[in-house]
Structure 1
Amino acid sequence: MQGPCCCQSGKDKPQSAPQGNAGPLRELTPLRPQPVDRLRYFGTGALVFAVWTGCYLAIEPLARLLTQAVPGLSERAAAALEFFLYDTAKILLLLLLMVYVIGWLRAGLHVERVRDFLAGRRRVLGYVLGAGFGAITPFCSCSSIPLFLGFTTSGIPVGITLAFLITSPLINEIAVVLLWGLLGWKLTLVYVLAGLGAGIIGGWFMDVLRAERWLQDYLKESIASGAAQQPIGTAQRKIGLRERHLFAGGETRSIFRRVWRWVIIGVGLGALLHGYVPEAWFAEHLGAGQWWSVPAAVAVGIPLYTNVTGIVPVMESLLLKGLPVGTTLAFCMSAVAASLPEVLMLRQVMRGKLLALFLGTLLVLFSLLGWLLNAVQGWLL
């Protein structure tokens, strides 16, 4: 992975790869890719990934150790601090890896073929694939954003990427096992189908409204430049390893510079909510079953920050305290699908109009789900 060559001139000088999306990305047009030692390249990549994996696995015990080293912390303060340390490091590491990998793949991607495949009747398949992929990725609402960014800059329609963004934090295999064991198969099936349905319907609705109009300008420029790329595979258009690396590195640096501060601020606010908002409050104030309690529960849940594995025991606790089934699921799904930290990070990707539309769509979808489940509560329990 050598640096850019600056000593060639004239006809022998290849055009350089794009250096990120601070402005319009330049087209990848190397006429003759520079040779790269493949063994060294992939060996270095494997070493870097091993270091990344070690750091990722060390985050949780290190966060716990650092929290325990701070004297005089209350239980809630310790929970908030550990949450902040763990999630900040986790999201930043995921951001570096995911954006680089997707950028590396994108460098040789024929975006028009992807768009053509997902157009027309296949667009519905795209929503199902986006939601399905979200269901098998074990990310929280903030950890899903690096993949969302990568998919969006790759030219995948915004509705499909939003189907992924909605579903990814809602469902994973660990949560399904916990739900089945604690709440039974009926509620587990309802939860999974509701999560997939929310992603598919939400993605479709965003495409109907042409939500891509309200992305931030740098993302629209990146998408437009990606659409201009031509397919690799012809002799004069083949993209080499060096060019892929330069492109992916530029994408990673540009996006990381834009969002890292907001990751720290957002997770900090989420940690405060996580440590200091008691779950008993929800059962006390939203357990009477009035019609307005469902959208109120969703509106309260959206700013909170937790993951689906952590919300399942809360779901059981709220049900035992008398909160109606629909209100409980609507609250828990909203707390998992969106959060204040996610909003702060998405603000660097979406304009205010799109962000408000995204949150409003979640509010409506989860409220409808809550009302429906409250109506059939007798069958579920």
Structure 2
Amino acid sequence: MTDTTLSPNGPRTLLRSLWRDHRVCLTTATILLLLAVFDPLQAVESARFAGASLLHTAPYLLLSIGIAAGAGATGADNLVARAFTGAPLLMIGLGALAGGLSPFCSCGVIPLIAALLAMGVPLSAVMAFWLASPIMDPSMFVLTTGVLDLEFAIAKTFAAIGLGLVGGFVVHLLAQGGGLSNPLREGVGNGGCGGARVRAPKPVVWRFWTEPERRATFAKTAISTTLFLAKWLLLAFTLESLMLAWIPAETVTAALGGEGLLPIATATLVGVPAYLNGYAALPLVGGLIEQGMAPGAGMAFLVAGGVTSIPAAMAVWALARPPVFALYIALSLTGAFAAGLLFQLWSLA
């Protein structure tokens, strides 16, 4: 085996590897280090704020981890495959419901979509699942309740399912006219962990603790989920502390506050490039709402960011043909704006 540290490219390779595997933690550490050098008081305050916020959300975090680990150990995510059987309109409804409620692993969503389309499942049903899936799942519901509130979590769940339903029906109507045939790019297959669940779904074993392999899966998933959520939430809470300290409330209120359509439209568009991660976005939106952001704008930001964030959009672009990609983006943005508007009207009622 070659020792990469002895080669000219060794240090560079090592740095790339460290950044790839620990970029979120390194980013948080870098922010705190820079603060310690240039603004020590803010460094202490940011560290205190992040720690206290993480402690406050700990009960919801533990429940969220348990849900994710239990889904992997029991095989509950195999239930998603059962949503894509039956009449087209029924499949749209079940696809939207599965997308909004299923604890499906993020690594499996794109292969799952490829598998469904390659197997001939109508694009309308797949689009319903595709649009709803990134917005909400049981773990996200629990954390949204803890970081924001229960009303916001319920509204976001309805937004996810509603966006899936509307998107699925729109695609169904377009497909009736002969459009959107052959949605996958050339060479995209139906492989991957998500595709396997559809091709050969396995039974769900709720008493997972009786099998050593499933207990091991539970432990592995719990550890990986804990590390994933902790590092993203620490970064988010650190950024939230800086946002609360450095961004005047009047600025947020002027740009994203109020009762008109402009704040919601602005949040919808800003959500695309500014969205970090579904879990990390929650504290940021909570901080913005404290600063004067309209609730409807917060909802629009979360929905638009979840579906059309740059990483998610890149994955869709790699998988689908340009017309399908364009439709996906258009449905996401209009749906996010509508969700924000409806939530704003509900908040004012």
> What band does the TM-score fall into relative to the shorter chain?
0.5 to 0.7
**Partner of 1:129 in structure 2?**
94
**Partner of 2:45 in structure 1?**
none
Q: CA deviation at 1:331?
A: 0.9
Structure 1 pair 288/347, CA: closer, same or farther in 2 (3 Å)?
same
**Partner of 1:324 in structure 2?**
294
Q: CA deviation at 1:214?
A: 6.1
Structure 1 pair 61/342, CA: closer, same or farther in 2 (3 Å)?
closer
Contact 2:294–2:344 (CA under 8 A) maintained in structure 1: yes
Paired letter, 1:215? P
**Partner of 1:295 in structure 2?**
265
Q: CA deviation at 1:289?
A: 3.8
Kindly provide the CA deviation profile for residues 149-183 of structure 1, in whole angstroms up to 9, marking residues without a partner as x.
12211211111111111111111212211222343
**Partner of 1:200 in structure 2?**
165
What TM-score, normalized to structure 1? 0.51
**Partner of 2:118 in structure 1?**
153
Structure 1 pair 74/185, CA: closer, same or farther in 2 (3 Å)?
closer
Tell me the distance in 1 between the aligned counterparts of 2:165 and 2:298. Answer: 22
Tell me the distance in 2 between the aligned counterparts of 1:123 and 1:184. Answer: 35
**Could you say which structure has the larger radius of gyration?**
1
Is residue 2:152 matched to residue 1:187? yes
Structure 1 pair 215/62, CA: closer, same or farther in 2 (3 Å)?
closer
Tell me the distance in 2 between the aligned counterparts of 1:75 and 1:143. Answer: 34
Q: CA deviation at 1:62?
A: 5.2
Higher relative contact order (CA 8 A, sep 6+): 1
1:128-277 mapped onto 2 (5 Å cutoff):
128-134=93-99, 135-140=101-106, 144-210=109-175, 212-213=180-181, 215-218=183-186
Tell me the distance in 1 between the aligned counterparts of 2:93 and 2:268. Answer: 24
**Partner of 1:228 in structure 2?**
none
**Partner of 2:22 in structure 1?**
63
Tell me which protein shows more helix as a share of its residues: 2
Paired letter, 1:212? L
Structure 1 pair 185/130, CA: closer, same or farther in 2 (3 Å)?
same
Structure 1 pair 374/307, CA: closer, same or farther in 2 (3 Å)?
same
Structure 1 pair 292/67, CA: closer, same or farther in 2 (3 Å)?
closer
Partner secondary structure for residue 128 of structure 2: helix
What TM-score, normalized to structure 2? 0.55
Is residue 2:318 matched to residue 1:348? yes
Partner secondary structure for residue 152 of structure 1: helix
Partner secondary structure for residue 179 of structure 1: helix
Paired letter, 1:63? H
> Which ranges in structure 2 are unaligned for 5 or more consecutive residues?
1-17, 35-80, 191-234
Tell me the distance in 2 between the aligned counterparts of 1:372 and 1:64. Answer: 37
Partner secondary structure for residue 318 of structure 2: coil
Q: Aligned pair count?
A: 232
> Which ranges in structure 1 are unaligned for 5 or more consecutive residues?
1-58, 78-108, 223-270
Tell me the distance in 1 between the aligned counterparts of 2:262 and 2:131. Answer: 23
